[in-house]
Structure 1
């Protein structure tokens, strides 16, 4: 990646998050922390960001409210469709499976509908954990890491290190958008973890209601040809269904 392109990507990520640390920049773009600091200094000298200890942030005038809705606001959006999707997902899970549940309201619906049978559930979602802890038949493994309040999830290098050696039978991940044969989310670290969960899983399922199909977001974390199936609701149009089926199997809940 050329330096000019990297600077634009750094700035784009800073705009998406409001701030960016040296460590995150180094990890995200596979550069040294010294190089990240020099890039930050160059962006600050051009007046595009404000340099601060350990990172950069946007000038106050450029700060914008995040476009991703908080988890608790998402709960009220298409609840029946999410429940239908969750029911279809639960039908794919067998007793004694090790299952990964990602963040998001649809994955939380899966947690709510899981039967009281022996399962192991690995998750970085504190929302899913709060639901699952009532199910005494399920063994829960909560990944630790940096807390992201907007999705109620744990993310970052520590989270990825915990997940890396694990063997998962089936993973269920969500997305803020699905377009052009790829799945999108609004947060880079959250996307990286979901991509890693796919790598560690024997079967991979993307769960999203039909309103997400045809939408894009900040970070493309997974090509649909890596996914065994997309599970969506019956309101998906013929065009939306064809778009998914061009890349992978489609399950209509």
Structure 2
């Protein structure tokens, strides 16, 4: 069976059952896990599905599905390589959360798609997006954290309750076997609510974040779908990520701490 035929059959299954995991694709079509993953990557690239932990689901937002192109180019600045690679995951018309990370801010610099609706609590990211007329930007309200320049609190959380998005782009301070952790509970509570309201969670983290454990746990590894980083983590972490069906995207170039 050719890939196009499998894609059509997978779509028929998804229209009936909403979700399908990699193992089921392997069993139904007698293909390897690598082949199943390539099928899902292709379906994601053309906007048919949302990739999830271990499989795929139909997009839950009520909007038309269109074909997409990846217009991202390689970056020479190592700091922006992670953000540029992550921006490649965005499709036209996708609804997005962008959190307050400085690496996520580089995603904002490299958005080349149109018709996106973006929600953020970062005043700097909102400013970066302000001149892009093809985007709609929603700024969360609340109390301003002066040092790190993000908005938080009950007002921001209440606003988040009204939103649901395709993808969350999330920075990381620490990634350990226990999951993602951050130094500030105020920021962490916003990130946790964003995770609950996103079909897909994409984490941006340079290699120095692996193995770190900070004060406030926001999510377990099973809450994550993709990690974009600049260096492969140690073998034990690789096995954990594979066990939790977290896709690892590694950019090329020298490493630079964000």
- Smaller-chain TM-score bracket: 0.5 to 0.7
> What is residue 133 of structure 2 aligned with on the other side?
136
Alignment counterpart, residue 171 of structure 1, candidates 146, 168, 171:
168
SS in 2 for 1:225: helix
What's the CA shift string for 1:4-34, capped at 9, x where partnerless? xxxxxxxxxxxxxxxxxxxxxxxxxxxxxxx
Q: Secondary structure at the match of 1:121?
A: strand
Q: Does 1:121 align with 2:118?
A: yes
- Provide the C-alpha distance between the structure 1 equivalents of 2:235 and 2:100, rounded to a whole number of angstroms: 28
Secondary structure class of the residue paired with 1:196 = helix
Q: Distance in 2 between matches of 1:215 and 1:243?
A: 15
Post-superposition CA distance 1:99-139 (Å, at most 9, x none): 10000111111111111522111000111011111211111
Residues 56-67 of structure 1 correspond to what in structure 2 (within 5 A)? Answer: none
- Cα offset for 1:242? 4.0
Structure with larger Rg: 1
Aligned residues between the structures:
175
Match of 1:252 in 2: 250
Q: From the superposition, tell whether residues 110 and 233 of structure 1 become closer, same or farther in structure 2 (CA, over 3 Å).
A: same
- Runs of 4+, deviation exceeding 6 Å: none
1:191 paired with 2:165, answer: no
Q: CA deviation at 1:181?
A: 3.4
More helix by share: 1
RMSD of aligned residue pairs (Cα, Å): 1.8
Quick check: 1:82–1:208 contact (8 Å CA) kept in 2? no
Q: Give ranges in structure 2 of 5+ residues lacking alignment.
A: 1-75, 252-258
1 CA distance for matches of 2:222 and 2:171? 15
Q: TM-score, normalised by structure 2?
A: 0.64
1:201 to 198, 207, 211: 198
Q: Matched residues in 2 for 1:227 and 1:81: separation? A: 24
Q: Is the 8 A contact 1:181 1:225 kept in 2?
A: no
Alignment of 1:34-73 (within 5 A): none
1:107–1:129 Cα change, 3 Å: same
Alignment partners' CA distance in 2, 1:181 and 1:251 = 20
| Runs of 5+ consecutive residues of structure 1 not aligned to the other structure | 1-78
- After TM superposition, the score normalised by the length of structure 1 is 0.65
- On the 8 A contact 1:181/1:243 being kept in 2, the answer is no
* Equivalent-residue separation in structure 1 for 2:236 and 2:78 (angstroms): 19
